[in-house]
Chains A and B, each alone.
Chain A
């Protein structure tokens, strides 16, 4: 630990911490653009000036490591003036097109202008004009004029994604960020450059012009795309629509980054792919009616001891809590024995990093937790072909499918769906509109999508991560835990009715 003094306040920080980070830890804001804790030090934006005791020149904080006795001032008049002027230099050739800029609201220039600027510009000359709306492939659009040349994106592609696509061309105030011949960005990590861009130079094609950021709310979760379990922020508007995912820092999992594939998993949670009401044979019906109908049919099987005719399909998309609630009821109460899933154990065994960075081959966020929870309840899994056969041979009559959002399970279950005859009773618990369409004759009950869930998922390394969303997109979509509770209630009241004969 090192004892340092910032603005006369003595602080204790870890030895060797970057001064910008150390100050931030203690609630002191040192403005910066080029510095990013996940990248190398560039020291070129010249915003993070501090006065160091014993040094006549202003120093940049990003190139200072904390060691015992370091004494700096960040709030002297000299520093404030230097920061103000640095900001003015950033804005000298910036187009200041905030009203039509997608970054407005989360722009470093705007934030620091309000905090450290607030001056009348003395720039009277013509600005340097550069290329706008440069298409850099499927995900990213570049505006060279808005760019403040902090070189974060250059360092990201050089150091993190190792694709070395970005470079700074030309020199002086003619410098521009770009790729050679404006070639599109490749690889699976391109949108990270948008995340780290402090201004509106790099914008995401997916998010561009979709929503003003000040209307967005934020929730914390873990990505749904693979077994890596990258921590994310969900940016949604009043819980009605998710607009984007942003990586959330977790040193042990994803650092500051996430892949493009995972980034777009939020799309499955939005209205056009969601089942919003309970449906029977494709027709809406009230939620409680659906539950009691399901409970009544289950009662037929449980009261006649035909539990072995009930088959359940599960996926490792469910959180540990959801699985426990499901199995508690199905295994411990209804004594159901037949559970089916794709070969999760095989997926876990073969799981590896696809591109030597974040993305992994196992497409489920909770494979390890899934296997563990199943083991706890002593459940043995059958394969999907077993399931299709049993259905065909009429050995399974009551079928429960717990299907997550996403396309993978829809493709996977096509064979099973074809085996279903009109005398099978099919219940689909899903947030997925297409699952309902696949099992057209079913009773479909809407559940929550991944990004609305609260619970625990276990990633490929065995790390259990809490996800705690705070919004619910559709009134009649409930969590699996509550659906199970409703079912249990409906089932016991149904039995009571039978016994009393009323």
Chain B
């Protein structure tokens, strides 16, 4: 059963890859996915024949110091591709230079944001690219051990990674004295058990430590006290995968792509009502229409675009109008009140009921709240219940006000940003698509506020 589905996946993606090979999409700028279509690129020899592990050789045989590696990454302007967009070189330079404690590099492959599936392509098809990036990153921060925390549902990806790591050991890219540099490094694949919150930097660390996947209070930040209270860097898969290209071609070459502040390329995983959903790599700053029309083949069945969620389900929603003239980089999307996030783009056409979409999201975040901080634990459930009553029982105008107040008090009040991840969609949906909610209110004949469950009790004096 499992093998057959795996075969199917490989077969399916290969078919698409071949199609792309035959007719490259002009709008795409493939750096990471350059060789994605090459058959068996997940094998080390095929990867090496396409320039793989050249960067690693450049670092070790060119005797680059860790600081030089960090400087190169800094010069490239590479920003974290997991969602926050923090400059990667800076993140690495925060790790203390002292070696009194072991340092760790963790690859965050717990890709669980709804709408996001870009890392999966790297993990399953070009695992060596990330592994190479991880070895270079580990060398830069002085980590003798790194972990790949892969979400439990990515069973095939975990198998591919295990095999790739094995190959890397055999080729001498992992283990003792890598390429005669004196640098030792071990890499371990750790499979999660299927919790959204374990994709949060410190939640991931807790989970890896064998604890409940609860995010940790900051400060201390992971760069100082992370995994096992040792200096730790957590990077997204796509970020690490970009490192070999940067080292091979130099940071300056990378800055040729993208915009002033958003350098390089970004992988977009597009889902929803488009003709050809999938993963596409574009220069940062490319127009949204290029992604929608040139890459994805336009809206499905020629329907009209209603809304777009640019960076995974937690990003605030954008209207069609805002989307159509939007450029896809960190700053432009932020200027429209949303965020680039993980690049998990969801396209919604005119037939979609956004209130139901929001309810669906609320159910997800309610289910996935770790339960540590009170506003999130109780707030996510409350929001879901309000939306449930709104859609299933009776819709009242007061519900919208209450939703705004409740989410306002969840925003920025918790240890991690899971509370924000539902608060921001709720607020943006209500703000940008009030007519969707109004239609529910108009259909319901309830008036006035909902009866309080405490209405039988005397109120405060």
Contacts and interface: CB of A to CB of B under 8 A. Distances in A.
Given A46-B413, A120-B452, A120-B460, A86 B375 contact: yes
B413 A92 contact: no
A57 interface: yes
Nearest to B415: A43
16 contacts: A41-B217, A46-B374, A86-B409, A89-B377, A89-B409, A92-B381, A92-B382, A120-B454, A123-B453, A123-B454, A125-B382, A125-B386, A149-B371, A149-B374, A171-B197, A172-B380
B368 A172 contact: yes
Contact of A44 (B368, B374, B381): B374
Contacts of B378: 89-90, 92-93, 173
B375 A85 contact: yes
A186 B451 CA distance: 46
Contacts of B212: 168
Given A46-B413, A58-B412, A123 B382 contact: yes
Contacts, number: 117
B30 interface: no
Contact of B453 (A57, A88, A127): A127
Nearest to B409: A85
A374 interface: no
Give 4 closest A-B pairs by Cβ, nearest first.
A175-B371, A125-B385, A85-B409, A173-B381
Interface string B362-377: 0000111111111101
Contact of A168 (B371, B388, B413, B449): B371
Contacts of B382: 89, 92, 123, 125
A126 B459 CA distance: 19
A298 interface: no
B332 interface: no
A201 interface: no
B352 interface: no
Contacts of A125: 382, 385-386, 388-389, 453
Task: Identify the interface centre among A49, A85, A172: most chain B CB within 10 Å of its CB.
Answer: A172
Task: Identify the interface centre among B195, B382, B389, B459: most chain A CB within 10 Å of its CB.
Answer: B382
Contacts of A173: 366, 369, 371, 377-378, 380-381
B402 interface: yes
Task: Identify the interface centre among B368, B385, B449: most chain A CB within 10 Å of its CB.
Answer: B385
A188 to B, nearest CB: 27
Nearest to B375: A89
Interface string A174-189: 1100000000000000
B381 A93 contact: yes
Interface of B: 195, 197, 212, 217, 219, 366-375, 377-382, 385-386, 388-389, 402, 405, 409, 412-415, 449-454, 459-461
A23 interface: no
Contacts of A119: 460
A146 to B, nearest CB: 14
Nearest to B457: A96
Contacts of B372: 44
A148 interface: yes
A172 B451 contact: no
Given A126-B385, A173-B378, 15 more contacts: A43-B373, A43-B415, A85-B375, A85-B409, A89-B375, A120-B452, A120-B460, A124-B389, A124-B452, A125-B388, A171-B369, A172-B367, A172-B368, A172-B381, A173-B371
A170 interface: yes
Contacts of B405: 122
Contacts of A43: 217, 373, 415
A172 B369 contact: yes
A213 interface: no
Nearest to B399: A124
Interface residues of A, number: 43
B402 A122 contact: yes
A82 B409 contact: yes
A170 B213 CA distance: 11
A201 to B, nearest CB: 14
Given A43-B415, A82-B409, A124 B453 contact: yes
A92 B383 CA distance: 11
Interface in A33-72: 41-47, 49, 57-58, 60, 63
A121 B459 CA distance: 9
A428 to B, nearest CB: 57
A58 B413 contact: yes
Interface of A: 41-47, 49, 57-58, 60, 63, 81-82, 85-86, 88-90, 92-93, 96, 117-128, 148-149, 168, 170-175
Contacts of B367: 172
A397 B343 CA distance: 97
A108 to B, nearest CB: 12
B374 A89 contact: yes
B459 A120 contact: yes
Contacts of B375: 46, 85-86, 89
A44 B212 CA distance: 14
A42 B367 CA distance: 22
A82 to B, nearest CB: 7
Nearest to A113: B460
Contacts of A41: 217
B409 A44 contact: no
Nearest to A84: B409
Nearest to B418: A172
Contacts of A93: 378, 381
Nearest to A126: B385
Nearest to A121: B454
A325 to B, nearest CB: 55
A46 B374 CA distance: 7
A174 B371 contact: yes
Contacts of A172: 366-371, 377, 380-381
Given A44-B373, A171-B370, A89 B415 contact: no
A171 B449 CA distance: 31
A124 B412 contact: no
A37 B461 CA distance: 34
A122 B375 CA distance: 15
A305 to B, nearest CB: 76
Contacts of B412: 57-58
Contacts of B453: 121, 123-127
A85 B453 CA distance: 18
Contact of B377 (A81, A127, A175): A175
A123 B398 CA distance: 12
Contacts of A117: 460
Task: Identify the interface centre among B219, B372, B381, B452: most chain A CB within 10 Å of its CB.
Answer: B372
Contacts of A81: 409
A128 B374 CA distance: 14
B413 A82 contact: yes
A149 B377 contact: yes
A122 B408 CA distance: 15
Contacts of B370: 171-172
Contacts of A82: 409, 413
B313 to A, nearest CB: 17
A117 B217 CA distance: 26
A45 B409 CA distance: 14
